[in-house]
Amino acid sequence: MSTPAPEDRKDTMVGTAAGEPAPDAAAKRGPSIATREKRQGTLNPSGETPYLVVEDLTVKFPTADGVVSAVNGLSYSVPLGRTLAIVGESGSGKSVSSMAVMGLHDRKRTKITGSIRLGGDEIVGLPENELMKVRGDAVAMVFQDPQSSLHPLYTVGNQITEAYRVHHKVSKDVAKKRALEMLDLVGIPNPIRRFKQYPHEFSGGMRQRAMIAMGLVNDPKLVIADEPTTALDVTVQAQILDLLNNLQKEFGSAIVLITHDLGVVAEMADDVLVMYAGRCVEYGTAEDVLARPRMPYTWGLLESIPTVSAANERLQPIKGLPPSLLSLPSGCSFNPRCPYKERVKGERCTTELPELLPVDGAGAHTSRCHLHDKASIYEAEVAPRLG
């Protein structure tokens, strides 16, 4: 897949609404070289060569009530062999951003700007026929509800073979052999019998395994797992997570794991990106973000996790509700719910959007907050409550 030069690429905005002015030249070309150089140190916490690079991604949905700003200026990267967990409450933009990576948004109803590169190839603005070559081959997605993702009228085996034959000119027999290998690889017993069965004949855990088999049948270099264990019980959840870990070692894929379960994050992730109201509010290695968080929203997420030692204590939820993406608050989007905003001098929290900056003045751990003494507040007040 070749990457068109910036001056030749038609547009990075998909589905511009009628009557709106066309994006300017800068928007068409994506982030400037200066911007990329400035963010080089904070875009990639691991320092390894990334396979997926997302820069200044913005996704908006024009509606009758106004423009829904689902994702705003999002940047991150994922190297091969590493797992990035994207966490946050429902409506924070996790799935919307990942669907943009897959090219799954309706072009007529979505405006997308920024840059998404897979292995160095730009995919924002690619024609649909080119995107179809990328989906399932270079990048695959495992959805949270396999019952609705698998077609009820076709056998599981036929759906996996079809996914393979779309990207490989092989016979049905060759594709069937590959599908049986994948069913066996993901731990589905008696693959030959299961190959002929329909999705409703599988349990929830088995359907999720079948979805993973379908996603990995073409050996994609990037796998996006959107809440892959949400509808499963704890035992099956652990099995699915172990399966993803083992398959990552086998295929060397990069994984983007979308979840709200920080327990899953602690077990699976190498890097963590925390989203709120369509923006990244904290980003770094899992060790940095989970052990040394520097953003009040991340503190709230950690405090809302139930612990065995606090069995008789009430949970500490984040007060309030996420803002409407039709009308984001001025300044920091988290300020209406933040219990620490009074510690910031003046009205900066309500008037000025904080930048995503290194927490210690350098390094790849970044946070978006006006507080100057985040480390001392966390150590003195938040950490003791986490136990």
What predicted TM-score, i.e. pTM, was given to this entire model?
Answer: 0.84
CA-based nearest residue to 247, from 237, 256, 255 = 255
Percent of all residues in the chain with a pLDDT value above 90, rounded to a whole number: 61
Interval 273-289 mean pLDDT: 96
Average pLDDT on 277-294 reads 95
For residues 226 and 235, give the distance between their C-alpha atoms in angstroms, rounded to a whole number.
19
pLDDT digits (tens, 9 = 90+) for 7-24: 343 333 344 443 444 434
DSSP 35-67: HHHHHHHHH-TT-SPEEEEEEEEEEEEEETTEE
Region of poorest pLDDT, from 29-43, 119-133, 354-368: 29-43
**204 pLDDT higher than 80:** yes
Residues 6+ apart with CB under 8 A from 203: none
Q: How confident is the model at residue 190 (pLDDT cuts 50, 70, 90)?
A: very high
What does the pLDDT look like over 290-317, one tens digit per residue?
999 999 999 999 998 876 665 667 778 8
Residue 58 and residue 71 in contact, taking contact as beta carbons nearer than 8 Å = yes
User: For residues 325 and 323, what is the distance between their CA atoms, to the nearest angstrom?
Assistant: 6
- Average pLDDT value for residue range 132-160: 88
Could you tell me the end-to-end alpha-carbon distance of the chain, in angstroms, rounded to an integer? 50
Superfamily of domain 25-138+220-386: P-loop containing nucleotide triphosphate hydrolases (3.40.50.300)
Q: What's the half-sphere exposure (Cβ side, CA atoms, 13 Å) at 146?
A: 28
Question: pLDDT band at residue 232, thresholds of 50, 70 and 90?
Answer: confident
Reduced 3-state DSSP string for 325-357: CCCCCCCCCCCCCCCCHHHCCCCHHHHCCCCCE
Q: Would you list the domain boundaries of the chain?
A: 25-138+220-386
Answer whether residue 143 shows pLDDT above 50: yes
